[in-house]
Amino acid sequence: MRYWAILLALGLLSTQAPAQTIGEGTGLLIQEDQSLVEPLREFSSAELEERFYRLNWQLRCMQCDNQAIGDSNAPVSAQMRDRVARLLEQGYSDREVVDYMIERYGEGVTYRPRLGGHTIWIWIVGFALTAFLIAVIVGIRNRHGGADDMTTATLSAEEQARLQALRDQNRGETS
């Protein structure tokens, strides 16, 4: 227990120390270089602004892979944001903006892949597997049903006679 406490304390110390220096560092940087702060965007309408921010979260930063461009400081993301804003002002629809980005950066640029091409397989395989599993389960149940029928199956006259004979024999032995 004590061993873990020491490890934890060390871990906290080591994560805190650099965080402090980074904090100081960026403070200085921002003072020196105003260009690190992105200016507020002006849009010709509130509707465009809303669509801009929605698209910001729908497009992926191609440099950082797991961030949306609205969440990323990478130069490529800044450039993509600029381009999205410009295209929207030019009257592009959301779909057209996304297609414009796909043309340049590939299908991976959108968090909502279009249906078609190889993405159709995601759906086909999902539904096909589900259908297959249902078929297997139904098959198993039917088999079990069949087995039940077997136990209640009627015996032929010959079998009845043989069964009776065995029972009589058994009774004779035990009594």
Q: Residues interacting with other proteins, by CB under 8 A?
A: 62-63, 74-76, 79, 83, 102-106, 129, 136, 139-140, 143
Nearer to other proteins, 23 or 39 (CB): 39
Cβ of residue 106: shortest distance to other proteins, in angstroms? 5
Q: Which spans in 33-74 are helix H?
A: 46-56
How many other C-beta atoms lie within 10 A of the C-beta of residue 92?
17
Cβ of residue 63: shortest distance to other proteins, in angstroms? 5
User: Distance of CA 148 to CAs 96, 104, 142, Å?
Assistant: 61, 63, 10
Nearer to other proteins, 117 or 172 (CB): 117
Token code pair at residue 101: 């980005």
Nearer to other proteins, 118 or 171 (CB): 118
Nearer to other proteins, 65 or 158 (CB): 65
Of 92, 47, 55, 93, nearest in space to 77 by CA: 55
Q: Which spans in 33-156 are helix H?
A: 46-56, 75-89, 94-105, 120-151
Cβ of residue 4: shortest distance to other proteins, in angstroms? 36
Nearer to other proteins, 86 or 167 (CB): 86
* Residues 14, 82: Cα–Cα separation, whole Å: 38
